[in-house]
A and B are shown apart, each in its own frame.
Chain A
Amino acid sequence: QSALTQPASVSGSPGQSITISCTGTSSDVGGYSSVSWYQQHPGKAPKLMIYDVDNRPSGVSNRFSGSKSGNTASLTVSGLQAEDEADYYCSSYTSSSVWVFGGGTKLTVL
C-alpha cells in the first residue's frame, strides 16, 4: 500500500488560512469516508484533529476543517496562530483493510 501524497511544506502568516492536500486513489481516500488528520508537535505524540473526513473531535478548535473531493482530501486551518506550527499527517482506511498515512506536511507560521 503506497503512502498518501502530501506537500512537504506549507506556510502562512498569522490570521491567514492555509490548506493541506492529501491525494490517494479510489482504493483509499476516494473509496472511503474514513480520512483523518493528525497534528504533531516536535517530540510529542500525534493528536487527532479531524475524523470521518470533516468531523472535529471535542476540544479541537473550529479553525480546523476537513473536506474531500474525489481522491483528494484537504485540511484547512483558518486564522493561523503561532501554536498551529507543527507537522500534519493525513490517514485513510483502504480496500486492503489496512490504514495508510501521508508523508506529512510541515506547517510554518511566518
Chain B
Amino acid sequence: QVQLVQSGADVKKPGASVKVSCKASGYSFLTYDITWVRQAPGQGLEWMGWISANNGNTKYSQNLQGRVTMTTDTSTSTAYMELRSLTSDDTAVYYCARVEYIGSGMDVWGQGTTVTVSS
C-alpha cells in the first residue's frame, strides 16, 4: 500500500542539527512532490517547505530560510529534511506528506517524527 515511513524520534541539544528521513513505498516516487510540516506541542500545523522528487527543486518557508535543507534520494525513494541551529522552539512533531500537484492537497502523510531540543 502507499505509505511514507519516517525515521524515529530524536533528542538534540541546542545548536545542533537534525536530519529526518521519509521513505516512500507503493507508488512512483518521481510522480509526487514531498512537503514537510511540523507541529509544536499543543500548537497548529506549520508548513516548512516543499521539494520536487522529480527535479529536486525546493521552496522553503521564510521563517526557516537558511536553516533548513530538503533533499531526496531517488535510488531509495527517500526524502530528507535537515534543520540546523536548533533551539527549544524547534521541539515538534515533524511530518512528511505527498503532494501530486498544487491543488491536490497532501494526501498521504508519514507517521510523524518527534524531535526534542533540550540541554
Chain A interface (Cβ < 8 Å from any Cβ of B): 1, 3, 32-34, 36, 38, 40, 45-48, 50-53, 57, 89, 91, 93, 97-104
Q: Which of A46, A47, A97, A100 has the most CB of B within 10 A?
A: A46
Task: Determine if B25 is an interface residue (Cβ-Cβ < 8 Å).
Answer: no
**In the bound complex, CA of A93 to CA of B102 (Å):** 7
**In the bound complex, CA of A59 to CA of B35 (Å):** 22
Chain B interface (Cβ < 8 Å from any Cβ of A): 35, 37, 44-47, 49-50, 59, 61-62, 95, 97, 102-107, 109-112
Q: Which residues of A contact B61 (CB under 8 A)?
A: 1, 98
Q: Is the interface of B mostly helix, strand, loop or mixed?
A: strand
A to B CB contacts below 8 Å, 7 in the list: A36-B106, A38-B105, A48-B106, A52-B105, A57-B105, A89-B45, A100-B47
Given contacts A1-B62, A97-B59, A99-B50, contact A48 B105 (CB under 8 A): yes
Give chain B nearest CB distance to A85 CB in angstroms: 17
Cβ-defined contact, B102 with A34, below 8 A: yes
**In the bound complex, CA of A93 to CA of B104 (Å):** 10
Q: Which of A51, A93, A97, A100 has the most CB of B within 10 A?
A: A51
